[in-house]
Amino acid sequence: MPMKFECSTCKQSYLHPYTQDNHHYPACPSWQQAGLLQGIAETEDLIHHPIQFLSSYVRMLKSAHPEAS
Ligand SMILES: [Zn+2]
């Protein structure tokens, strides 16, 4: 399950996969500043912010596998 972060600058939530060898906070997709950890993304979050989460999730996948796009 991806982790949920909230950017304090643009008040957006975004997702990032949790990996054990990546301990730094991920940057906001639009601001490039690290957001605050909100916990694990839950189904409720996906329902309330489907587009936002989907777009950040796609961005996350592309950055994780740039050769696949
Ligand atoms: Zn932001």
Q: What is the pLDDT of residues 19-65, one digit of tens each?
A: 655 556 778 877 778 888 888 888 887 787 778 777 877 887 887 77
Distance 23 CA to ligand 1 centre (A): 19
Name which of 13, 23, 25, 18 is nearest 64 in CA terms.
18
What is the pLDDT, as a whole number, of residue 19? 63
- Confirm if 15 and 41 have CB atoms less than 8 A apart: yes
pLDDT of residue 67: 74
CA of 19 to the centre of ligand 1 (A): 21
Number of domains observed in the structure of the chain = 1
What separation in Å is there between the alpha carbon of 32 and the centre of ligand 1?
7
* Structural domain harbouring 9: 3-68
In the chain, what percentage of residues exceed pLDDT 90? 0
Q: How far is CA 64 from CA 50, 59, 67, in A?
A: 21, 9, 9
Predicted pLDDT of residue 68: 60
Q: What is this structure's pTM?
A: 0.57
